Structures are given as structure tokens and as C-alpha cells.
Amino acid sequence: DVVMTQTPVSLSVSLGGQVSISCRSSQSLVHNNGNTYLSWYLQKPGQSPQLLIYKVSNRFSGISDRFSGSGSGTDFTLKISRVEPDDLGVYYCGQGTQYPYTFGAGTKLELK
């Protein structure tokens, strides 16, 4: 199985600040078809997860450009700029390149 390692486990940020979350996979996430199926999700307290970024760097419908994804192969990063109160919650990376699909353990974003 592909192991997804997310760091840090938690992050404190001031409103308006910028943060980065790292996600590393134990194997390359490049699919045979050339796509890299690495996604980022945010789970706000008491809610279902929501997709933010798919295929490494593509923002999902309605997602602010304050969220950006980058990376390749086995190393990926989510950056959030100008943090707002609605950004708080747990962020997960996930891979859909090979079964079983796997997720990172999550990064909790809190206010400083």
C-alpha cells in the first residue's frame, strides 16, 4: 500500500498569514496514464471533507486561489495564503493512483 506521510501534524497560524503542509508518498504517484492523482481535502469541524485540489495543482470548483498545490513524484505541498477563519480544520492529502486509495493522517490548522 502507498503510505502518505503528512507534516506537520498541527499548525498554528495568525489570520492573514501563510502556511504550507507537506505530503510525501512512499511510492511515485504517477499513474500509467501519466496523471498524478494527488488530492487535498479540508474537513471543517462537524462536516464532511471537501475537495480543494486535485491532480496535484488543480483547484476544484469554487475553491479560492488562496489555495495552491504543487509537487511531483512523491513530494507534494499545499500552500494557503491570507488565512481566513473559514480555513480552519483538518487537511488531508490523498492518493488515487493505485488501490487501495490512501490518505495522510491529517494536519490540524488552528488559530494562533
Partner 1 sequence: EVQLVESGGGLVQPGRSLKLSCAASGFTFSNYYMAWVRQAPTKGLEWVASITNSGGSTYYRDSVKGRFTISRDNAKSTLYLQMDSLRSEDTATYYCTRSHTIDYWGQGVMVTVSS
- The SS3 call for residue 34 is coil
Residue 28's closest CA among 89, 72, 66? 72
Site string (6-45) toward partner 1, x via CB under 8 A: -------------------------------x-x-x----
Residue 3 touching partner 1 (CB under 8 A): no
Residue 57 touching partner 1 (CB under 8 A): no
Residue 96 touching partner 1 (CB under 8 A): yes
CA 101/CA 98 separation, integer angstroms? 6
The residue written with cell numbers 507534494 in the block is 76
CB atoms under 10 Å from CB of 105, counted, come to 13
Of 9-17, 18-26, 54-62, 74-82, which part binds partner 1 (CB under 8 A)?
54-62
Identify which of residues 41 and 76 has a Cβ nearer to partner 1 in the complex: 41
